[in-house]
Structure 1
């Protein structure tokens, strides 16, 4: 039987960030020190005590045996396994949730894409939680998928008692496809990067459903619908930030801060964390920094949560023409030789296409463009 310890540790950061928690916040919830959590996530602590894993799992919303696993246990198909707890202060997204409720009953696979930090994982987890009763054979969560192969994904979902899970890659993938054909199961795959990771796993006649989140559209999947997850509208962003702040900032300051974050859920979480963990800092101090394009990304950092880092990771994976187009966003953009790259950015939510072939970037995208261009 394979050693699953490293799989458990690999999942901790994914589960924590999906729950919208910093290391410090998870430490408070779980009673496990921030130093220990950081050591586990960085693989400096390779054999954490089972009680530590259970405390972390319980704090992340995992129940029963799953709390000590930090991964889908694979020992059963029925039931919700490995799904992070829904994000605290989840706000709005009614249209997105309604769309998912429709599509997850019609299509064997659905994609959620959008800006880094737009809340794709949180939306997927919320939908999976809300719709779990539709899937009597279980809900499973795996992520971040990152560079994981199709065969490895299959093995992590299959029961360890399934002979195919320990056989060849082809056997594991075949058994996984049979599982999706025969069982009413929902599999949520988080942070998928490449069509080749998922394409071999999706039979066209699947009874089960696959919900995919990722930074880039997967255009070669034959049986999937795709939805762009936008930043929160202004009113929802204010509501979410107010709930995160718990009444510790004036309403006017909350509105200004939410506007400075451009409705990006990650930016809202970072803003709330900075002010709640540093009560000596005034809301006006942060408002002033969010109003300065050259300082805004430096202000949106709290512990290991960083808007700039999230953008840099996604930028590195963009097509070359899209990366060139990002460099144009430091100035008003009209028709340009890099228009194809701008269209790439539009389908990822980095810019909004307007009249006259003009493109308007999200405010935080424009700020990142300055960093990427070195200006």
Structure 2
């Protein structure tokens, strides 16, 4: 009997984050208390009431078929899962979706990488939703795979009725490879950490296609099959934040706030949340804090959404030379020289390459460098 404890723990949280909601916002939408939602996500509540799960599924935009993703851990049907609802106020990304449309037609696997909070998962879900009709055998989204092994991922995605899903690791992996060879499916693997998690799962003759998001580039994939997801351009960032705040702040303030967020979707989402849930705080108060490097990360926190936390999690997994390069960003504003580690940061979107082998960090990366562990 497979243990779905970790799968259930990640399932609700991943669906909530993809939907762009804090625990408090999901509580308002669903009528389920924040304490109950937190208990389900942390697996302190092992068997939520079916009415609770139905309410959460409806608030997350799941249809009746996909609401099975929120079954209690003991009853979870792991593997065949649909996509969560697309992120509210999804804006722009036309070039990235066009690239995915081309690549997913001819490549067995592609990867999206980028800054923490750049919206990789939201983009992947949006693209998979748009392209779903290409895949008559369905779209499968097992939630974040993070620390899962290749065999664990295979078991999540195999039908539970398949004996291989309960067999030894090589049997489960072999059965999953056969599934990809013979089924026209799209599999979205979110938050992949390294090649060992997915390399064994990708047969070269696959009929199915795998869309991967991750914090670090997978060296097992050709560079042409990886796409860096940049922050939103200024116009798209303003449009996204305008839609999120829904008239609660004047246009000049929205423009200033979007600029202070550097186009980072997570930062925009946190900013909108703070404006909507704390009306006693003026937009100008928040603008002032976003303009101060020593205060900006403290301002970009709303409930369990935190730009600083997102950076810290990814920073911990960077190579040592890249972590050292981040700490060098505490120098005065302006391009930094090409020292060891900056190439690692550039391919992850933390800095952009400029002239004369110098790099320009994203403003929130520079702010994070002030508080990065070891600084």
Q: Place the TM-score, normalised by the shorter chain, in its bin.
A: over 0.9
Distance 1:223 1:249 in 2: 42
Structure-2 change in CA distance of 1:274 and 1:200 (3 Å): same
Q: Is the 8 A contact 2:137 2:183 kept in 1?
A: yes
**Aligned residue-pair number:** 369
Structure-2 change in CA distance of 1:275 and 1:374 (3 Å): farther
Q: Which is further off, 81-90 or 347-356?
A: 81-90
1:194 Cα shift? 0.9
Q: Deviations over 1:277-306 (max 9, x none)?
A: 011110000001001100000000000000
Match of 1:233 in 2: 233
Match of 1:85 in 2: 85
Match of 1:355 in 2: 355
Distance 2:189 2:264 in 1: 22
1:224 Cα shift? 7.2
Structure-2 change in CA distance of 1:160 and 1:224 (3 Å): farther
Superposed structure 1 runs of 4+ greater than 4 Å apart: none
Match of 1:276 in 2: 276
Question: What are the ranges of 5 or more consecutive residues in structure 1 without an aligned counterpart?
Answer: none
**What secondary structure, in the 3-state scheme, does the structure 2 residue paired with 1:69 have?**
helix
Structure-2 change in CA distance of 1:344 and 1:155 (3 Å): same
1:333 Cα shift? 4.8
Distance 2:42 2:276 in 1: 26
1:6 Cα shift? 5.0
1:223 Cα shift? 9.7
Structure-2 change in CA distance of 1:75 and 1:176 (3 Å): closer
Structure-2 change in CA distance of 1:171 and 1:275 (3 Å): same
Distance 1:39 1:49 in 2: 13
Q: Does 1:94 align with 2:79?
A: no
Question: What is the Cα-based RMSD across aligned positions, in Å?
Answer: 1.7
What are the equivalent positions in structure 2 for 1:212-251 lying under 5 Å apart?
A: 212-221=212-221, 225-251=225-251
Q: Is the 8 A contact 2:79 2:140 kept in 1?
A: no
1:49 Cα shift? 1.4
1:3 Cα shift? 4.9
1:51 Cα shift? 1.9
Match of 1:335 in 2: 337
Distance 1:222 1:262 in 2: 29
Match of 2:53 in 1: 53
Q: Does 1:34 align with 2:27?
A: no
Distance 2:316 2:215 in 1: 11
1:182 Cα shift? 0.5
Match of 2:136 in 1: 136
Structure-2 change in CA distance of 1:206 and 1:75 (3 Å): closer
1:374 Cα shift? 7.0
Provide TM-score, normalisation by structure 1: 0.95
Structure-2 change in CA distance of 1:97 and 1:49 (3 Å): same
Question: What are the ranges of 5 or more consecutive residues in structure 2 without an aligned counterpart?
Answer: none
Q: Deviations over 1:174-208 (max 9, x none)?
A: 01000101010000000000100000000011010
1:99 Cα shift? 0.4
